[in-house]
Amino acid sequence: MTERQTRILPVQRLNKPLAHNKTVAQWWAEEKTTNTPEAAAVLEAAEALRTSDIPVGFPTETVYGLGADATRSASVQGIYKAKKRPSDNPLIVHVDSIEMVNRLLNPDGRSSMTKIPAIYEPLISRFWPGALTILLPNPEGSLLAKEVTANLPTFGVRMPSSAFARLLIHVAGRPLAGPSANASTKPSPTTAQHVYHDLQGRIDIILDGGPCGVGVESTVVDGLSDPPAILRPGGIGIEEIKACPGWENVQVGYHDSALQSKEAPRAPGMKYRHYSPKARVVLFEAGSDLSQVAGRVTQELASSQSANDSCGRKIGIVRTKTWPLAIQLASDAKASAQTQQTSSDNDDTLPIRQISTRIKDVSTTIFDVNLGSSAESIARGLFAALRSLDAENVDAIYIEGIRDDEGDLSAAVMNRLRKAAEVFVTI
């Protein structure tokens, strides 16, 4: 792919909740007359989405998306090229309104409309706009590019709660195919700088709206099956979905590991290894005995000694609920003062403590990250932590898992961690 000049255009001022009783159209009617840099950035990005085959990076409430006109094949192909994404991995369509969904379901524009299946009405009423993707039948004569569905008979669609994302879709006047704006298999981006790190030279425009609030992608549900199923855990919790009429018996239809190579994924994020940093990731399941965790890490460090150890080793530790600082591997060492290091050079500050010690007589630097104890804080910081530790060129990352049933986001957090990990440990 030809190297491109990638620009980051600030739009933080516009990345805010929509004023009460104001529509996106009314908001834009006022904003576009201001001649501000942010309004100019939206107009430039919207024009690129309509006319260019190069996708645009943009913020949502979950993670940064890589947007392209979902109705043009050449545009959607640009996503696969930029991400180096396998072509059998379907894309989620982002819309700004129910009316846009109805146009996708009724491409011929006839008065006898095909409606959104009734099973989804309780979910849409409660969670849209929001971090929920629903699976709909792709109609005959579909407006969507065939690359969006990866030849499946269905397509996934969501309406972001991010007012800015809906504004961009409105100004572009197109439904946007929008996977996460990272290189395929890498941790999802929660800042514009993460997008730039992965896609610099592959895309032209990144709209910088600041850090994302949720930190994991949308939940994907299939109400066309009986019983309905959750195909990917995400920003809407499983228990929240079960509380909706018609969804009390919803089934878990996903695996925390990748599907076998010949299986067709029903939704994004199901088939391939995802969310993986360069470093080897070892995930300890919740409740693992701390002394055995420390012993396992020490044993791995000892067994991986090499001629390069004269230069020292680097490891990352990601803590959540119970692990102490550096899992007590360096209890007698002096830790550096805690500093606010940024993930991938800017934005989304993350507290990382750097500790120098010796383990098995080898100089070892430990980069310790505490994500906090709530599923919400863990979700917000998870991808940034993996990226920050990658930036430190650590050899391995050891992560404290959480229980799948602790909070509405916990299943999504553990799903992402299990897909990122090379090794799962329960001790």
> Mean pLDDT of all residues in the chain?
88
8 A C-beta contact, residue 192 and residue 7: no
Do the domains spanning 7-252 and 280-425 agree at the CATH topology level? no
User: Which residues are known binding-site members for L-threonine?
Assistant: 62, 94, 158, 218
Q: What torsion, rounded to 10 degrees, do the Cα atoms 242, 244, 248, 250 define?
A: -60
User: Which residues are known binding-site members?
Assistant: 62, 85, 89, 94, 154, 158, 180, 188, 218, 232, 275
The confidence score (pLDDT) of residue 304 equals 73
- Check pLDDT > 50 for residue 346: no
pLDDT band at 288 (very low <50, low <70, confident <90, very high): very high
8 A C-beta contact, residue 227 and residue 252: no
8 A C-beta contact, residue 183 and residue 193: no
The confidence score (pLDDT) of residue 343 equals 37
Q: Where are the domains of the chain?
A: 7-252, 280-425
The confidence score (pLDDT) of residue 338 equals 43
8 A C-beta contact, residue 274 and residue 256: no
User: Which residues are known binding-site members for ATP?
Assistant: 85, 89, 154, 180, 188, 232, 275
Name the least confident of 61-65, 268-272, 359-363, 375-379. Answer: 268-272
For the segment(s) 7-252, the CATH number from 3.90.870.10, 3.65.10.10, 3.50.50.60, 3.30.420.40 is: 3.90.870.10
- Check pLDDT > 80 for residue 113: no
Average pLDDT for 4-33: 94
pLDDT band at 342 (very low <50, low <70, confident <90, very high): very low
Average pLDDT for 178-192: 93
What is the CATH architecture of 280-425? Answer: 3-Layer(aba) Sandwich (3.40)
Give the model confidence (pLDDT) of 355-385 as tens digits.
999 888 888 999 999 999 998 999 999 999 9
- Check pLDDT > 60 for residue 260: no
Residue 90 preceded by cis peptide, ω within 30: no
The pTM assigned to this predicted structure is 0.89
The confidence score (pLDDT) of residue 143 equals 97
- Check pLDDT > 80 for residue 67: yes
The confidence score (pLDDT) of residue 306 equals 53
Average pLDDT for 342-365: 73
The confidence score (pLDDT) of residue 185 equals 85
87 or 201: whose pLDDT is higher? 201
**pLDDT above 70 coverage of the chain, percent:** 88
The confidence score (pLDDT) of residue 262 equals 53
- Check pLDDT > 60 for residue 332: no
- Check pLDDT > 70 for residue 4: yes
105 or 114: whose pLDDT is higher? 105
List of residues 6+ apart from 282 with CB closer than 8 A: 296, 297, 300, 396, 397, 398, 399, 421, 422, 423, 425
